[in-house]
Amino acid sequence: MVDRNLLKNLSKQYPDVKTATQEIVNLSAILSLPKGTEYFLSDLHGEHEGFIHMLKSASGVIKSKIDEIFGPDLTIEEREALASLVYNAEAEIARRKKTEENFDRWCKTSILHLVLVCKSVTNKYTQSKIRKRLPKEYAYIIDELLHADDEANMGNYYTQIINTMVECRVAEEFIVEMAEVISSLAVDRLHIIGDIWDRGAHPDYIMDYLLDFHDVDFQWGNHDIVWMGAATGNWACIANCLRMNINYNNFDMLEVGYGINLRPLAMLAQKYYGNDPCTRFMPKIIEENKYDPTDENLAARMNKAITIMQFKVEGQRIKAHPEYNMDHRLLLDKIDYEKGTIKVRDGVYPMNDTLFPTIDPDDPYRLNDDEEMVMRGLSEAFRLNEKLQRHIRFIMTHGGLYKIINGNLLYHGCIPMNEDGSFKECTLDGKTYKGKAYMDALERKVRDAFFKEETPKRRGKAGDIMWYLWLGADSPLFGKDQMTTLERCFVDDKKTHKEHTVPYYRLIKEQETCENILKEFGLDPEESVILNGHVPVKIKDGESPVKGGGKLFVIDGGMSKAYQKTTGIAGYTFIYNSRYMALAEHKPYTPMKPDGTQTFHAPVITIVKNMKKRMLISDTDVGEELKRERDELKELVDAYRSGSMKEKSKSGI
C-alpha cells in the first residue's frame, strides 16, 4: 500500500484518472523497449581528442551501422567519409568546401544520409526521449525528418526541407548538429571508471565535454582523488599534481586551462636552481604547448623545485598521521648530505643528485620562507579556482569509489585483500572495516573532507584522506605497498624503485575471488561482472583484459600516449547493450593531417557475453524505478475510482 501523503503529492501532477492513466501507459511502453547501450571507459589521462573520438564514434558502432544501412549502395570510401562526418563534422565540412565541385549538393546528400543513420540509432527510443536530446534550434526539423512515414510523399517532403535549409545557408550548422545527435543517441549512458587527470594534455577539455553529457557517472581513480584533494587546498596533493603535470609539460592545462599562476614557482626555481642543470627533471614532451610555451630548462628547474617541496610537505603529513603507517617513506632525514648517499630500507645507495639548496639537514621537512609562500599561494589558487571547483564538484556529485549498476560492479583500483583471498581488515578513524564496508567508510570520509567548512588555520588538512588514497598501502585506489617517487628521482639502483602490488592483482585471476567480491557487494556471481581500471593491460606481452573466468574485465588498455608503447593499444571500451557485452580494443588516435583528412582505425570488437534474452528497460535499475512509479500511479487511479481521493477538474475546483 502506497503512503497517502505520497498519493497526495502525485495528485498535484496527475489530478485525475485520465492524466494518471496516460502516464501509466507511457511508463509501460517505455519498460517494453530494449535496454539502452552503456559504455564503460577508464584511465583517460587527459587524452581529450582520443576520448571524444571514442564517444562520437560510439567505439566503432557508428561505422558498423553505416555499413549495415548503406552496404553496397555506397563505396567503402564513401562509407568511411560519412563516418568521418559524424566523428568530426566541422573538419569534414571544411575539407569538402575545398574539394567538392558542388558543395550544396554534397550538403543535401549528407543530410539525407545522416537522417538515415540517425533513424537507425534511435529505433529503440521513445519519441519523447529523442526530442529531449535534440538541439532547440533544429528540434522541429530533425523530428520531422526522423518521423515522417508517408512513403508516397516522403521523398518530396525530405527534398523540400533539405533544399530550404541549403537555400537559407544553415545546412552546415544543421549537419554539425545532426552529427552530435547521432553520437549522443548512440551512447545512452557513460561510465568513467577512473583517472581523468594527469599525463595527457587536457583533462580540463574532457571535463568541459562531460559537464554537458546527458548521462554520465564516475568511479574515482587515484589520479582523480589527488586532484580532489588539491581542490581542498591540500599541499601534499597540490605538489603531486604540479610535479606530474610539469613533468609532462602540461603548462597549457595548468596556466591557461585552469588559470593557475605558476610564476611564483618559476621565480623560486630560478632563485635556488638557476645554476643547476636539473637534467634528470627535463619534462617529457608528448605534446607541445600552444598557448603557454615554457623553456624546457626552466620547466626542469620548476619540476625539481616542486618535487623537493612535495617530499617536505608529504613528510609533514606522515608525521601528522602515524595511523597511516608511512614512516618508512620519511627519507629526507635518511640522506647523508656530506657523502651524497641515502638509506633506503636495509641498504645505503649513492644519489645521482646532491644539490639541495632549500633543504636544512637539521630540519629537512621544513619549507623555507620562499617555499612556504609559494605553497600558500598555490593552495589558494587551487581552492578558489572556479573552473576546477566546478569540475571536482561534478565528479563528486556524479561519482563515488564504486558503483553497482544493472547488476554489475564498477571500481577503479582494487578491494584490499589478504594473501589467502579474504578481505583485509583496514583501520579508519580508529574503527576496523573490510570489503564493501571499508569502501563505504572511505567514501563518506572523502565527501566530508571536500564539503565541510574549514577554518583558515587548518585549511587543506581535511584533504589528507585524499592524499592517503593517492599512495597509501591500504588504499583501494593505489594497490601497491609504497610509491617510490624519491628513489626514482635520485637513486639509479632500480632495486629501490620497486613498488609491490597488493595480493588482489594476483587473486583476481581466479574465478572464485571475483565471485566472492561480487557476493560481498550483494550481487549474483552467476550473472554479474566486475569492470576494473587502473592497471594497463599489456596486450603486446600477451596479457588479457579478461580475468577470473570472465567475471572481471580490466579496461585500462593505455589510452594515455605515455602508456601505448607498453600496452601496444590505445584503450578499451566495454559495451553493454540489450543483446551482448563486448570489449572494443582501440588503436591509437590519429590526428588530422595538414590537408584536412584523417585516418580512423576501426576498433576490434569482441563479444564476451551474449544475453540469454534481449534485455529490456524493465530488466534494468531504471526499469525498477519506473515500475515503482507505475505502481504508485495505479494506486492513485484506484484511490480516485474508489472515492478515497477526489479528482480535480481543469479549473482546479
> What DSSP letter does each residue of 103-172 carry, written as one string?
HHHHHHHHHHHHHHHHHHHHTTS-HHHHHHHS-GGGHHHHHHHHH---HHHHHHHHHHHHHHHHHTT-HH
The CA-atom distances, in angstroms, between 432 and each of 324, 429, 502 are 14, 8, 19
* Sign of the dihedral defined by the CA atoms of residues 644, 645, 649, 652, in that order: positive
Dihedrals phi, psi of 192, to nearest 5 degrees: -100, 110
Give the confidence band of 653 by pLDDT, cuts at 50, 70, 90.
very low
What's the rounded mean pLDDT across residues 134-151? 80
pLDDT above 60: residue 652: no
pLDDT, tens digit (0-9, with 9 covering 90-100), for 539-581: 777 888 999 999 999 998 677 787 777 777 778 899 999 999 9
pLDDT tens for residues 182-220?
998 899 999 999 999 998 899 999 999 999 998 999 999
Give pLDDT, residue 427.
Answer: 96
Residue 309, domain member (yes or no): yes
Q: Give the residue-averaged pLDDT of 237-256.
A: 97
In a domain, 523, yes or no: yes
pLDDT at 543 (0 to 100): 84
One domain, residues 169 and 213: no
Confidence class for position 596, pLDDT limits 50, 70, 90:
confident
Residue 457 pLDDT exceeds 70: no
Whether residue 575 lies inside any domain: the answer is: yes
DSSP characters over 485-542: HHHHHH---GGGG--PBPTHHHHTTSHHHHHHHHHHTT--TTT--EEE-SS---GGGT
Cα 582 from Cα 590, distance rounded (Å): 23
653 within domain boundaries: no
pLDDT at 601: 82
Mention every residue, 6+ apart, whose C-beta is less than 8 A from residue 363.
none
Q: Say yes or no: 101 and 49 in one domain.
A: yes
Average pLDDT over residues 341-366: 96
pLDDT(456) > 80: no
Beta partners for residue 582, in sequence order: 575, 607
Q: Whole-angstrom Cα distance, residue 126 to residue 114?
A: 19
pTM for the model? 0.92
Beta carbons within 8 Å of 412's beta carbon, 6+ residues apart: 42, 193, 194, 195, 219, 220, 221, 222, 401, 477, 532, 533, 534
pLDDT in tens, 414-447: 999 999 999 999 999 999 999 999 999 999 999 9
Would 473 be classed as within a structural domain? yes
467 shares a domain with 347:
yes
Tell me: do 437 and 515 sit in the same domain.
no
pLDDT bin (cut points 50, 70, 90) of residue 398 is: very high
Q: 67 exposed, middle or buried (CB, 10 Å; 0-12, 13-18, 19+)?
A: middle
Average pLDDT value for residue range 355-377: 98
SS3 labels along 179-213: HHHHHHHHCCEEEECCCCCCCCCCHHHHHHHHHCC
Do 110 and 248 fall within a single domain? no
pLDDT value for 154: 59
Could you read off the pLDDT of 304-328 as tens digits, one per residue? 999 999 999 999 999 999 999 999 9
Q: Which residues contact 182 (CB under 8 A, 6 or more apart)?
A: 62, 86, 114, 117, 118, 121
User: Grid coordinates 623553456 are at which residue?
Assistant: 295
Say whether both 168 and 281 belong to one domain. Answer: no
Chain centre to alpha carbon of residue 382: 20
Cβ atoms of 176 and 114 within 8 Å: the answer is: no
Phi, psi angles (nearest 5°) of residue 521:
-95, 15
Query: Over the stretch 23-48, which tens digit does the pLDDT of each residue have?
Result: 999 999 999 999 999 999 999 999 99
- 405's CB contacts (< 8 A; 6+ apart) are 38, 191, 217, 621
Rounded distance, CA 447 to CA 397, Å?
Answer: 9
- Among 248-252, 438-442, 452-456, 599-603, the range scoring the smallest mean pLDDT is 452-456
Residues 322 and 425 in one domain: yes
Pick the last residue of a domain from 497, 527, 545. Answer: 497
State the chain's mean pLDDT as an integer: 92
Q: Do both 542 and 597 map to the same domain?
A: no
Rg for the chain, CA atoms, rounded: 28
pLDDT value for 291: 87
Residue 603 falls inside a structural domain: yes
Strand 347-350 to strand 341-344: parallel, antiparallel, or no bridges (unpaired)? antiparallel
Q: How many separate helices (H) and strands (E) can be counted in the chain? A: 26, 17
**9 and 108 co-located in one domain:** no
Q: With beta carbons less than 8 A apart as the criterion, state whether 411 and 476 touch.
A: yes
d(CA 227, CA 204): 12
Domains in the chain: how many in total? 4
What is the share, in percent, of the chain residues with pLDDT greater than 90?
77
Q: Which residue has the higher pLDDT, 562 or 243?
A: 243
At residue 454, does pLDDT exceed 80? no
Q: What is the pLDDT of residues 466-497, one digit of tens each?
A: 999 999 999 999 999 999 999 999 999 999 99
In one-letter notation, the amino acid at residue 606 is T
Distance, CA of 637 to CA of 629 (rounded, Å) = 12
- Lay out the sheet containing 335-336: strands in order across: 335-336, 341-344, 347-350
Same structural domain, 213 and 89 = no
Place of cell 526499469: 623
Residue for grid cell 530550404? 164
Amino acid at 258: Y
Dist. CA 219–CA 23, nearest whole Å: 34
Same domain, 45 and 178: yes
- Residue 469 · residue 524 · CB < 8 Å: no
CA 40 to chain centre: 9
Quickly state the pLDDT bin for 127 (edges 50, 70, 90): confident
Where in the sequence is the domain holding 575, given as residue range(s)? 38-192+561-614
pLDDT in tens, 77-113: 999 999 999 999 999 999 999 999 999 999 999 999 9
Query: Looking at the structure, do residues 629 and 605 belong to the same domain, yes or no?
Result: no
Q: Is residue 647 part of a domain?
A: no
Instruction: Kindly state whether residue 649 falls inside one of the protein's structural domains.
Output: no
Average pLDDT of span 368-387: 97
What is d(CA 358, CA 361) in angstroms, rounded to the nearest whole number? Answer: 10
Over 70: is that where the pLDDT of 169 sits? yes
